[in-house]
Copies of this chain bind each other. A is one copy, B any other.
Amino acid sequence: MAAPIDYANLSTPPACVADFCLIPIGTTTASVSNEVAAVQRLMKASGLSYSMHSAGTTVEGSWDEVMKLIGQAHTLVHQNGVLRVQTDIRAGTSRTDKEQHFSEKVTKVESILAADTK
């Protein structure tokens, strides 16, 4: 029989890659560029590795660092007057200590595709 799990003392993952898409709700305009720009300034100030694309922002760090940062993004957008904020987060972690660097994923796929034309 397995020992009972000490749930309260479970750690969170030391490394995480998260891609998030933040949506302000209840603004009078459908443009979200200003909110996205405000969040990008926060990302830069954080010191974590991140990359903006047209459908979100990818960021990597410890689970706690990454999730705190996305939570701060919510607070920032609320402080700018937005009543509700909804974010879709795709969060990935690995069991091994091997760090996942998000930029390497695209390189690996591109090298597979490059072999197609040879």
Contacts and interface: CB of A to CB of B under 8 A. Distances in A.
A1 interface: no
A13 B21 CA distance: 17
A102 B55 CA distance: 8
B92 A89 contact: no
Contact of A10 (B42, B58, B103): B42
A55 B90 contact: yes
Interface of A: 5, 7-8, 10-13, 16-17, 19, 21, 23-34, 36-37, 40-42, 45-46, 51-56, 58, 63-64, 67-68, 70-72, 74-76, 78, 81-96, 102-103, 105-106, 108-109, 112-113, 116
Closest 5 CB pairs of A and B: A26-B30, A12-B71, A19-B55, A67-B67, A54-B102
